[in-house]
Structure 1
Amino acid sequence: MELEKVLQDNLQHSAIGTMDNHLVEFTEELRTVAKALKRVADGKARAQEEAVEWKRKYELEKLRNLQLQEKEISVQEGIATDATQKWIDNSSHQAENGESIQNQNRKCCTKHGICGLEIRPRQISQCDFVMGSNLCSPKASFTLAWGSNGENNKHKHDVVSFESGNITTAARSHKQIMLKWDSPPQSVVILTKPNSNSVRVLCAEMIRWLADEKMVTIFVEPRVKKDLLAESMDFHFVQSWEKDEEILLLHTKADLVITLGGDGTVLWASSLFKGPVPPVISFSLGSLGFMTPFQSDCYRDCLEMIMRGPVSITLRHRLQCQVLRDAGSDEKWREEPILVLNEVTIDRGMSSFLTYLECYCDDSFVTCVQGDGLILSTTSGSTAYSLAAGGSMVHPQVPGILFTPICPHSLSFRPLILPEYVTVRVQVPFNSRGKAWASFDGKDRKELKPGDALICSMAPWPVPTACEDDSTHDFLRSVREGLHWNLRKPQSLDEPKDI
């Protein structure tokens, strides 16, 4: 009897101990599940707060753009009223003097096929700093206009018509932008490719010709002025800048920008101007030359033609990029915006892990990028890194943002072309295995840690580059000659023919 009692006590103690162990394990699992649910709830709350914050910023930005558009419209209406009154006064004066022929040239389309849309009146520059030894002088004024196919082909301002309840696209004229000077250019900025003897010789020769024949004020970079003065003291009239503040105000002084080099020199010229950019004349002294249509051996004829006008212009859009540190927290830190003419690239840098990027277009989720990286490109940069990554070549006059993955770990990830009015946000999530790196036109690399984001939108200041013929002709010629696009041996005529 005593033995049976001992056995029963042992069995009860072992059963209770087993149950206690199971209860402990079950409690731990419940705690793990509770922690996971709490993390999910916190993440969802943060995401909702961030979405509300982005929506609020989007609405504020939209309201600000509408206010700016209304202000521009009111200013343009005031300018148009003054121009109309001036035209009436001039027409009355010419009618009294019997000059009826000149009245015909003041119609919408002139003999050059120019249909004026925007007039920049001549005004005194507001900059009050000194460059070299001369004070600022008045900038030359010019007119930007749409070219038309003929004198009787009036430009259609509306793209879509809603007449009679039907939606139709309106007839369009030749959408080539023309620049016509209202007064001759007074100042020129010359930017050159460094470490090139041929460029140095051409720069000195061009400066002498511009100073002697055109009597314009010439600005160069400090290193170029130093080289010129080391060569000859005859270049003492050439001006430059010393402080960064002077570079920021350079657009208020310069009427033209001349680049001597390749596409990289054009990118450098674009980076100097953080706001509006004067018309750019690019002479080809590089390799490919997608943005350098003019040949250096006939620079005098080219400059004569451009300074006389009218000249075709390509408006090359730029992206405005801004890094947002710790985007998921309440205290966000925005860095200074950077303008790029070609592209911004987000890659994995030296990390051996794939990049993991979350992409948003305005408030809409686009996709998660898992691969070597992502390229956000302008249409001018569609023939650069984006092309090498499998993106399409796009005419530079087409407004849009190219969304091109770099070696994605997916068979169905194809490039996109987004409209120009969207804002793209690329964020490194907190669960990313590694960091990412962003580079802007191939330089100024910045590290993106988990939680950081990059915001890109179309900048309001394009780069106006002069065309040798027109935008389409120059673009197609650069694709054919620079990339040998679709070059193949033609079919032989000796092959059998269909009967």
Structure 2
Amino acid sequence: HIQDPASQRLTWNKPPKSVLVIKKIRDASLLQPFKELCVYLTEENNMIVYVEKKVLEDPAIANDENFGPVKKKFCTFREDYDDISNQIDFIICLGGDGTLLYASSLFQGSVPPVMAFHLGSLGFLTPFNFENFQSQVTQVIEGNAALVLRSRLKVKVVKEHREKMTVQNGIEENGVVSANLEKEVGKQIMQYQVLNEVVVDRGPSSYLSNVDVFLNGQLITTVQGDGVIVSTPTGSTAYAAAAGASMIHPNVPAIMITPICPHSLSFRPIVVPAGVELKIMLSPDARNTAWVSFDGRKRQEICHGDSISITTSCYPLPSICFRDPVSDWFESLAECLHWNVRKKQNNFAGEEEE
């Protein structure tokens, strides 16, 4: 029996009490929706609202006296400093697809259900409109919603210890070393949970990138080109789609391997089972280093002897649907990517039938 994707439903063991609100930073158009949502959550539903500290540092929020009483009820946190993973019942995102990727990065283990409102430039992963947010949030709180479990990639980067290490991009955006960084004898290990894709590219070098790709320990190919994208089905409509990959529904258990401008006429994108382990390393013949990024963040250099191991994570991101997983996906294909838009062919009107 094959499970119907539309059968996945949100169910609460107990009524949700705490919600994390993620707002796109430096976007004035989101201030009013953010305030309306927070007032509704705190005063109408008596919920504990978590927001990132830098959101409240926005002068338009900090200097709003009318919003002061609501703001005092917030719980705040700082990325890479405070662990809120066990304190959140569900997440509400206000912005574009980037807010959902950011929400994913905050939870390196289990992720609470995410409700994403389309208030950004691209809304492929954000199916909700904000106009009637009260009724939609109420339905989620009552557990009346469909879910799609978006698989993530578990990525382990192992770097050979070097006396002189490049620190410019090996340090987090806020200037501190990652909390999920371990050290072994002669090795440095970092782990990431990735929702869209891992991108390995040639960085600033003018040479081809030259990286080996292993599947379950066996060398399957060497990528000679601008790089390679390893993506989830969710990421198949992002960078991978621009590089010529197929678009895969998020309910399909798979990992996609897509070359970026390969210097080969026969290197087509491939799809492999979700259960495999991929490993990417610089080829021994590589003339230069490579660079890697994870959902567009944490960019760092990969040198000879370093490795990137990629498997499907056991912690997917539960994304709350507007209608159901299939309808929402095709709606996004049509609205955001204008999939298969073409003028209709005319029939042979006026000709006599034979």
**TM-score, structure 2 normalization:** 0.88
Q: Is the 8 A contact 1:316 1:464 kept in 2?
A: yes
Give the aligned residue type for 2:64. E
Aligned residue pairs: how many?
325
Q: Secondary structure of the residue that 2:100 maps to in structure 1?
A: helix
Q: Is the 8 A contact 2:18 2:48 kept in 1?
A: yes
How has the CA–CA distance of structure 1 residues 498 and 362 changed in structure 2, closer, same or farther, with 3 Å as cutoff? farther
Aligned positions of 1:180-219 closer than 5 A: 180-219=11-50
CA displacement, residues 260-315 of structure 1 (integer Å, 9 cap, x when unaligned): 00100110111111111111000001122111000011111110111112311111
The CA distance in 1 between the partners of 2:235 and 2:145, in whole Å, is: 23
Higher strand proportion: 2
How has the CA–CA distance of structure 1 residues 332 and 479 changed in structure 2, closer, same or farther, with 3 Å as cutoff? farther
2:110 is aligned to: 276
2:87 corresponds, among 250, 253, 257, to 253
2:9 corresponds, among 178, 186, 190, to 178
1:231 is aligned to: 64
Q: Is the 8 A contact 1:225 1:239 kept in 2?
A: no
The CA distance in 2 between the partners of 1:230 and 1:269, in whole Å, is: 27
The CA distance in 1 between the partners of 2:353 and 2:269, in whole Å, is: 40
2:199 is aligned to: 345
1:384 is aligned to: 238
Give the aligned residue type for 2:53. P
The question of 1:370 aligning with 2:224 is answered yes
How has the CA–CA distance of structure 1 residues 287 and 242 changed in structure 2, closer, same or farther, with 3 Å as cutoff? closer
Alpha-carbon shift at residue 242 of structure 1 (Å): 4.6
Alpha-carbon shift at residue 430 of structure 1 (Å): 2.8
The CA distance in 2 between the partners of 1:332 and 1:386, in whole Å, is: 34
CA displacement, residues 6-42 of structure 1 (integer Å, 9 cap, x when unaligned): xxxxxxxxxxxxxxxxxxxxxxxxxxxxxxxxxxxxx
Q: Secondary structure of the residue that 1:370 maps to in structure 2?
A: strand
Give the aligned residue type for 2:201. D
Bigger radius of gyration, 1 or 2? 1
Give the aligned residue type for 1:389. A
CA displacement, residues 167-205 of structure 1 (integer Å, 9 cap, x when unaligned): xxxx33524311122322101110000111121111111
Q: Secondary structure of the residue that 1:218 maps to in structure 2?
A: strand
Higher helix proportion: 1
Q: Is the 8 A contact 2:79 2:106 kept in 1?
A: no
Could you tell me which runs of 5 or more consecutive residues in structure 1 were left unpaired when the two chains were aligned: 1-170
More displaced stretch, 484-493 vs 275-284: 484-493
How has the CA–CA distance of structure 1 residues 331 and 186 changed in structure 2, closer, same or farther, with 3 Å as cutoff? closer
1:485 is aligned to: 339
Alpha-carbon shift at residue 479 of structure 1 (Å): 0.4
1:470 is aligned to: 324
Q: Which has the higher contact order (CA 8 A, sep 6+)?
A: 2
Q: Secondary structure of the residue that 1:220 maps to in structure 2?
A: strand
The CA distance in 1 between the partners of 2:143 and 2:185, in whole Å, is: 52
1:101 is aligned to: none
Alpha-carbon shift at residue 427 of structure 1 (Å): 0.6
Aligned positions of 1:159-178 closer than 5 A: 171-175=1-5, 176-178=7-9
Q: Secondary structure of the residue that 2:76 maps to in structure 1?
A: coil
The question of 1:302 aligning with 2:132 is answered no
1:441 is aligned to: 295
2:120 corresponds, among 276, 280, 286, to 286
How has the CA–CA distance of structure 1 residues 230 and 395 changed in structure 2, closer, same or farther, with 3 Å as cutoff? same
How has the CA–CA distance of structure 1 residues 468 and 346 changed in structure 2, closer, same or farther, with 3 Å as cutoff? same
Give the aligned residue type for 2:86. T
CA displacement, residues 121-177 of structure 1 (integer Å, 9 cap, x when unaligned): xxxxxxxxxxxxxxxxxxxxxxxxxxxxxxxxxxxxxxxxxxxxxxxxxx3352431
The CA distance in 2 between the partners of 1:173 and 1:461, in whole Å, is: 19
Alpha-carbon shift at residue 334 of structure 1 (Å): 3.7
The CA distance in 2 between the partners of 1:331 and 1:206, in whole Å, is: 49
Could you tell me which runs of 5 or more consecutive residues in structure 2 were left unpaired when the two chains were aligned: 162-183
Q: Secondary structure of the residue that 1:311 maps to in structure 2?
A: coil
Q: Secondary structure of the residue that 1:336 maps to in structure 2?
A: strand
Q: Is the 8 A contact 1:317 1:462 kept in 2?
A: yes
Alpha-carbon shift at residue 452 of structure 1 (Å): 1.8
Give the aligned residue type for 1:459. S
CA RMSD of aligned residues (A): 1.8
Alpha-carbon shift at residue 331 of structure 1 (Å): 6.2
The CA distance in 2 between the partners of 1:172 and 1:411, in whole Å, is: 37
**TM-score, structure 1 normalization:** 0.63
The CA distance in 1 between the partners of 2:39 and 2:79, in whole Å, is: 26
The question of 1:396 aligning with 2:250 is answered yes
Q: Is the 8 A contact 1:317 1:341 kept in 2?
A: yes
2:178 is aligned to: none
The percent of aligned pairs where both chains have the same amino acid is 38
Q: Is the 8 A contact 1:428 1:450 kept in 2?
A: yes
2:96 corresponds, among 248, 262, 283, to 262
The CA distance in 2 between the partners of 1:184 and 1:254, in whole Å, is: 12
The CA distance in 1 between the partners of 2:2 and 2:151, in whole Å, is: 22
